[in-house]
Amino acid sequence: METEDVPAEVLRQREAKWLDMLNHWDKWMAKKHKKVKLRCQKGVPPSLRGRAWLYLCGGKVKREQNRGKFQDLDSQPGDPKWVDVIERDLHRQFPFHEMFVARGGHGQQDLFRVLKAYTLHRPEEGYCQAQAPIAAVLLMHMPAEDAFWGLVQICEKYLPGYYSKGLEAIQLDGEILFSLLKKVSPVAHRHLKKHKMEPILYMTEWFMCAFSRTLPWASVLRVWDMFLCEGVKIIFRVGLVLLKCMLGSPEKLKKSQGLYETMELLKALPPAYMEEGFLVREGGTGVVHFRQS
């Protein structure tokens, strides 16, 4: 059932269930993890999403283990090299969202604080542009300190190595995505192979931004509900659905004779393929077992 169609009564029941889960989190995660997963697939109630995400990704535990750490990082000036790059990127993140619309407004200030704190937390890694939309999505749901710990978890636990120089981790996952595509859609796999399209050409933004810059907002939230529960395999599943839908039949490939046309096609995803209910149904389970976060 899509979020926009959820009747108020059902939403209230879901909220009550989620409140019970959040109030007895350790017990649920230890004994009823399957149930948590199913509830994430249905979508987390909007009113509890921030809290649920922080619990799901382990950010709450991290925050409690490191009391005062964010405040300490927040109070430091930061490396001028990174500060400058981060400041130039702030206005590019969700510019039409009320939180980030004002230059120098609270949203942009918090985004700067979170990203700068991360460069101090991981100086050897510094800042990568794809971290900004991740941090922005978190900030839309939680205060800066929580968003910082959410970002730490996504960068270190969910997508490790994605944001360091050289992009080896993303290239490796691109190869894995490509080999999975052979099972899911041999037609699409053959087409990409024929045109020598490296996975890094089409999947980098999908994976590094966890689809936050690709999908409509309702779908982003639903994908993140599952991603923060189940890990990177959700990103693989969504990527496979999109590749199969766009390139999975000879008729569809008539429009994309070469590498350039194929790239353009993958940039212009039809709304029907990006709709949240469709992605959840088509993504199903079972394609991606091998790489757990």
**126 is in which domain, residue-wise?**
66-158
In a domain, 93, yes or no: yes
Whether 146 is covered by a domain: the verdict is yes
Residues 79 and 143 placed together within one structural domain of the fold: yes
Of 133, 158, 183, the one marking the end of a domain is: 158
In tens, the pLDDT along 78-97 reads 999 999 999 999 999 998 89
Q: Count up the domains in the chain and report the number.
A: 3
Position 22 in a domain? yes
- Domain-ending residue, one of 110, 127, 158: 158
Helix (H) or strand (E) holding 190: helix 186-194
Per-residue confidence at 2, pLDDT binned at 50, 70, 90? Answer: very low
Contact in structure between 210 and 219 (CB atoms under 8 Å)? no
| Residue 76 DSSP label | S
71 and 146 assigned to the same domain: yes
In a domain, residue 60? The reply is: no
pLDDT confidence of 204, banded at 50, 70, 90? very high
Same domain, 129 and 92: yes
229 and 263 within one domain: yes
pLDDT (tens digit per residue) in 19-52: 999 999 999 999 998 999 999 999 999 999 999 9
Average pLDDT over the chain reads 92
What is residue 4's predicted lDDT score, i.e. its pLDDT?
A: 54
- Say yes or no: 218 and 134 in one domain: no
292 occurs within a structural domain: no
Do 245 and 182 sit in the same domain of this protein? yes
Whole-prediction pTM = 0.93
Residue 225 has pLDDT above 80, yes or no: yes
First to last CA, the chain: 27
pLDDT at residue 285 tops 60: no
Instruction: Name the percent of the chain lying above pLDDT 70.
Output: 95
* 81 shares a domain with 110: yes
Q: Are 196 and 92 in a shared domain?
A: no
227-283 per-position pLDDT tens digit? 999 999 999 999 999 999 999 988 888 878 888 889 998 999 999 999 999 999 998
What is the C-alpha to C-alpha distance for residues 91 and 103, in angstroms, rounded to an integer? 7
User: Looking at the domain assignment, is residue 193 inside a domain?
Assistant: yes
